[in-house]
Amino acid sequence: MLLQLDHIRKGFGNPGDPAYRVVLEDLSLEVEEGERMAILGPSGSGKTTLLNLIGGLDHPDEGSVVFRGEDITRYPVREMDRFRNGQIGFVFQFHHLLPQCTLLENVLIPTLVRDRSDRDQALGRAEMLLRRVGIWDHRDKLPGKLSGGECQRAAVVRAMINAPSLLLADEPTGALDRENVEKMAGLLLELNREDGLTLLVVTHSAGLAEKMGRTLELRNGKLVRPK
């Protein structure tokens, strides 16, 4: 078992306040190593909140997030940073590459906290991944000179640079045209099949969702089978 969420509750604001809102309520989920999972759900249903809890960017009010047997909600801040940097890759709807840095510099950013010998290794891995997604020739270009699809593939490389176990993708194809949706779906599938990467993908794309092994929908704070 890679991940186990147990009776998660998460609200925003102060309980008792009229603006208080419970977003996730008694939510449980188990994800096996190497699984591919799509999460559907309307805007505002709590999909991003859920990914943030799993990736250690936010804390649940109740319940546990257990990653390979360890409850990450109990980690102190530094331990949490180490967990996130080493185990989790994030891809968002917009690539969030730094516009003043080249593609290669951008994908190496998550490796800057490491020591020297690790960084040399990271350069080799960056080359391997950039070649694999077909943008190695663009490595010295700024993101502004590249297409949205190319930038999004660079964002996947950046997410993969520290060899995470789990990729959390939040509407990763939301800003792409059809051809690039296909390419992104193919790339994610390949990383799952060949590298054993576990995928948790929030998406509105039926094409992307159907390539995942399992699809759940977030409704009324819980994950349920889609209708």
Ligand X SMILES: Nc1ncnc2c1ncn2[C@@H]1O[C@H](COP(=O)(O)OP(=O)(O)O)[C@@H](O)[C@H]1O
Binding site for ligand X (CB under 6 A): 12, 21, 23, 41, 43-49
Count how many Cα atoms sit within 13 Å of the Cα of residue 184 in the half-sphere of its side chain: 33
111 binds Mg ion (CB under 5 A): no
Each residue 18-47 as x (binds Mg ion by CB under 5 A) or -, in order, gives -----------------------------x
Binding partner at 43 among Mg ion, ligand X, none, C-beta below 5 to 8 Å by kind: ligand X
Q: Which does 198 bind (CB under 5 to 8 A by kind): ligand X, Mg ion, none?
A: none
**Cβ nearer to ligand X, comparing 48 with 173:** 48
Judged by CB under 5 A, the stretch of 48-56, 66-74, 174-182, 190-198 that binds Mg ion is 48-56
Residue (56 or 110) nearer to ligand X, CB? 56
The count of chain residues that interact with Mg ion, using the rule CB under 5 A, is 2
Nearer to ligand X, 48 or 102 (CB): 48
Closer residue to Mg ion in complex, CB, 47/95 = 47
Closer residue to Mg ion (CB): 48 or 192:
48
- From the list 8, 45, 48, 223, which residue makes contact with Mg ion (rule: CB under 5 A)? 48
Query: For residue 34, with 0-12 CB atoms within 10 Å meaning exposed, 13-18 middle and 19 or more buried, which class applies?
Result: middle
106 binds, among ligand X, Mg ion, none (CB under 5 to 8 A by kind): none
| Shortest spacing between CB 21 and ligand X, in angstroms | 6
Binding site for Mg ion (CB under 5 A): 47-48
